[in-house]
Amino acid sequence: MIAARLHKYHDPLTVEQIAEPTITGPHDVIVRIGGAGLCRTDLHVQEGQWKEKSGVVLPYVLGHENAGWVHEVGSAVDNVAVGDTVIVHPLVTCGLCRACRAGDDVHCENNSFPGISVDGGFAELLKTNARSVVKLDPSLHPKDIAALADAGLTAYHAVKKAAALTYPGTRAVVIGTGGLGHIGIQVLKALTPAEIVVLDPSEEALALARESGADRTIKVDGRHVDTVMELTDGKGAEVVIDFVGERGAIEDGVAMLRNAGSYFVIGYGENVNVPTIDIISREINFIGNLVGSYNDLAELMTLTAQGKVTLHTSAYPLDAVNEAMTDLDQGRLHGRGILVADAA
């Protein structure tokens, strides 16, 4: 099959022929990929930032946002059948550890992470397991929803936690209207009564934010923190959801946070540098967000089927993967980039 593999950190991916994955266990599922989302994490993997955490051996196939059609199943699989349309939860989980039994499968003690620690979906076929596939209505095309497997799931996971902290009259500040941000705005609109205030340096991105349901948009122009503080009568926002995590976003976000407010970290790239005395005296909270559970993904797909969440996407053929990653890296890609294998 055709796949895009990383052979050396910092080098472009190589599109080449490799062996197809095979069924080796009773709960295995092989998915024919109909769409694989591009994520900034793919750039971080390429740059070697995940080298120590993943322990992966090069070369391997990237791609952790995947959807497609069931191609083959193991002998014990009965929740999906060959031909079913599915979206793939990013993790392959065991179902037996304490985290899995608590429904917190994102912290499975025995997980593998296609596209991070094992071969992913920048290919014609992907190997996963029965616990990781969410069956979809066949009217949904994988290329239209693939990025919800991680970008959408991560945004939903964070917003679902933030929703418990909002009530009528509260404000949620969203930093960044990229591939994750525009999904997060839609989920905020669906789950919370908060006024949604969105910050971004791009007018095009702010237009996408308004289209996605933002109540107010503010351009990052050097006065944006002051503008938010004026909007909140000098108190700051109850919730800040940061989809950027670098280039000054963290410092700005903390400055816009109300006392006892909560800062949700989704984007990453820099450090959170806040004096502990400020955390204590202001009683502010920092919440990390790693993907989301299987149930989170199933709930997100319900919102998608109801028309409450839609993706803004740009499709690329698989052999244009390096062009797509360059567009993402240089900020030319708004919304989510989707790779589509020729065979899909």
- Write the CATH number for 59: 3.90.180.10
**At which of 244, 271, 288 does a domain end?**
288
Note whether 63 and 169 are same-domain residues: no
pLDDT for res 267: 87
Note whether 236 and 310 are same-domain residues: no
Note whether 226 and 91 are same-domain residues: no
Note whether 131 and 161 are same-domain residues: no
Note whether 109 and 224 are same-domain residues: no
Domain that holds residue 258: 153-288
Note whether 213 and 270 are same-domain residues: yes
| Alpha helices for 168-293 (secondary structure H) | 181-191, 203-212, 224-231, 249-255, 276-282
Name the domain count of the chain.
Answer: 2
Beta strands in 59-166 (DSSP E): 60-61, 65-73, 85-88, 125-129, 133-135
Note whether 228 and 116 are same-domain residues: no
- Write the CATH number for 260: 3.40.50.720
- Residue 113 contacts residue 170 (beta carbons within 8 Å): no
Q: How many CB atoms lie within 10 A of CB 91?
A: 27
Q: Note down pLDDT in tens along the chain; length 344 residues.
A: 999 999 999 999 999 999 999 999 999 999 999 999 998 889 999 998 887 777 788 999 999 999 999 999 999 999 999 999 999 999 999 999 999 999 999 999 999 999 999 999 999 999 999 999 999 988 889 999 999 999 899 999 999 999 999 999 999 999 999 888 999 999 999 999 999 999 999 999 999 999 999 999 999 999 999 999 999 999 999 999 999 988 889 999 999 999 999 999 998 888 899 999 999 999 999 999 989 999 999 999 999 988 999 988 899 999 999 999 999 998 888 778 999 986 44
pLDDT tens digits, 134-176: 999 888 899 999 999 998 999 999 999 999 999 999 999 999 9
Note whether 142 and 39 are same-domain residues: yes
Note whether 63 and 88 are same-domain residues: yes
Query: What's phi and psi for 91, nearest 5 deg?
Result: -100, 145
Compute the half-sphere exposure of residue 207: CA atoms within 13 Å on the CB side of its CA: 5
pLDDT for res 50: 81
Note whether 283 and 301 are same-domain residues: no
pLDDT for res 343: 47
Note whether 109 and 209 are same-domain residues: no
**At which of 250, 270, 288 does a domain end?**
288
